[in-house]
A and B are shown apart, each in its own frame.
Chain A
Amino acid sequence: MLTVTRDMVLPTTVTGSYPRPLWFDRSLEGRSFKSALGDSLFREQYLDAVASIIAEQEAAGLDIVTDGDSRFDLTVGGKSWFFYPIERLGGIEGHRDTSRGWMSRHGLRPGKILWEVQEAYQPGVVRRKLTRGPLEYAELWKVAQRMSDRPVKFGAICAPALASMLWNEHYVDDKAMILDLCDIMNAEFREVAAAGCPLIQVEEPPHHSRALQEGTTDADLEFQTMAFNRQLEGVDAEIWVHTCWGNPNQQRVHWTVPSYERALPHLLQLKCDVLTIECASSDGRDLPLFKHIKTDKKIGIGVVNHCNTGSNRPSMWRR
């Protein structure tokens, strides 16, 4: 339900992650967040880092701020976006040296940075029924929100995306594994909402990427929609769904930015209040798709490219 942005016109925010301060060199490394806050050095670094990141976003004038995803370890290519949950859920033991699908796609080979990133990922193996672990999303949000009077958006990977970094050796099929993951994430999102978090961002439904893959049927996309929505049942907060075309190590996954055209009708079926789409990288090429689409959802557009180091000109005229 729209709450935070209901009466805001053109609210501004960032997706979530923010570069670590150079002095923030300690990591959770699999520890529970609450437990690690008992480690004096980690506690001071973490709290100071989140305070700094929020202060910068406030100085920039953003309406909605984030904690920079500071729970994530300093790992290769954003590995922790997947592995913060993977390292904490029950039922996962060991790993394999290849990522599902990734290493055979996008022309990856040794000598490419994304090959190195994928080698570093080491996907987990699901050997038993998946169970909840100490994700502690509610506590992470509370720590950040007490540092700001602006709404703090809490973001996390969605269950279907998480499944793409797991090898299933327990469930009858991947769909069964995804549904169990959805129930686990649902419990987490309910808790963070019940803690008072006004705005939860659920990240990367697989629809737009799957829609590009040969052989993906509408039924496949409809399953993803059902699963995605299952993880949001009863979550009482403003829900955002973030989509983009990939961001391992701030790298492009696709040399030519793809289109949302096939996926968009499916994405608009997701149980969310705001749907965000990547726009800066394509110079808004997909925006005309909204000309004939009627939706009650708000649409978040990316106007800043995360894959280059230019700081972008506010008044820069489009190409």
Chain B
Amino acid sequence: MAALIRKALEYIPKEQLVISTDCGFGREGLSRRIAFYKCVALVEGTNIVRRELGLPEARVRAADPKLWFASR
């Protein structure tokens, strides 16, 4: 995901680039959980590139270890 964004940045200025999905997640074809983690991955992948560019990252509550009770 981050690699695809980096590739896009070779041709499109960062100020003109928007990060989304190829299409919608539908209503019956995917499970809601899968759609959710695709969203999380989308933002985490974008955050990797934001970090590389020195841009502020979005907070991803879903990926915050302090908010999960499972442990290693």
Q: Which residues of A contact B (CB under 8 A)?
A: 5, 9-22, 56-63, 69, 72, 74-76, 78, 242, 244, 246-247, 249-251, 274, 276, 278-281, 283-284, 287-291, 295, 297-307, 309, 311-318
Contacts and interface: CB of A to CB of B under 8 A. Distances in A.
A303 B5 contact: yes
A10 B22 contact: no
Q: Which 4 A-B pairs have the closest CB atoms?
A: A250-B29, A17-B24, A302-B22, A314-B45
B55 A9 contact: yes
Contact of A313 (B25, B41, B43): B41
Contacts of A247: 23-24, 26
A279 B22 contact: yes
Given A19-B35, A306-B25, A274 B18 contact: yes
B22 A316 contact: no
A12 B58 CA distance: 9
B70 interface: no
Interface of B: 1-5, 7-8, 10-12, 14-32, 34-50, 53, 55, 58-62
For B29, B31, B43, the residue with the greatest tally of chain A CB atoms inside 10 Å of its CB is B29
B66 to A, nearest CB: 14
A311 B37 contact: yes
Nearest to B7: A284
Given A19-B31, A287-B10, A304-B39, 6 more contacts: A9-B14, A14-B39, A18-B24, A78-B24, A278-B22, A302-B21
Contact of A287 (B12, B25, B46, B53): B12
Question: What's the dominant secondary structure at chain B's contact region?
Answer: helix
A142 B11 CA distance: 37
A22 B1 CA distance: 29
Contacts of A284: 4, 7-8
A19 B18 contact: no
For A58, A250, A278, A288, the residue with the greatest tally of chain B CB atoms inside 10 Å of its CB is A250
For B21, B25, B29, the residue with the greatest tally of chain A CB atoms inside 10 Å of its CB is B21
Contacts of B60: 59-61
A215 B22 CA distance: 27
Contacts of A11: 18-19
Contacts of A283: 4
A316 B34 CA distance: 17
Contact of B21 (A295, A303, A315): A303
B64 to A, nearest CB: 9
A318 B43 contact: no
B32 A306 contact: no
B18 A60 contact: no
A313 B30 contact: no
Contacts of A278: 22-23
Given A10-B14, A60-B42, A17 B25 contact: yes
Given A19-B25, A314-B48, A303 B42 contact: yes
A302 B21 CA distance: 4
A60 B4 contact: no
17 contacts: A9-B50, A12-B20, A18-B27, A19-B31, A19-B34, A61-B58, A69-B27, A78-B24, A247-B23, A280-B1, A303-B4, A303-B46, A311-B41, A314-B48, A315-B3, A315-B45, A317-B3
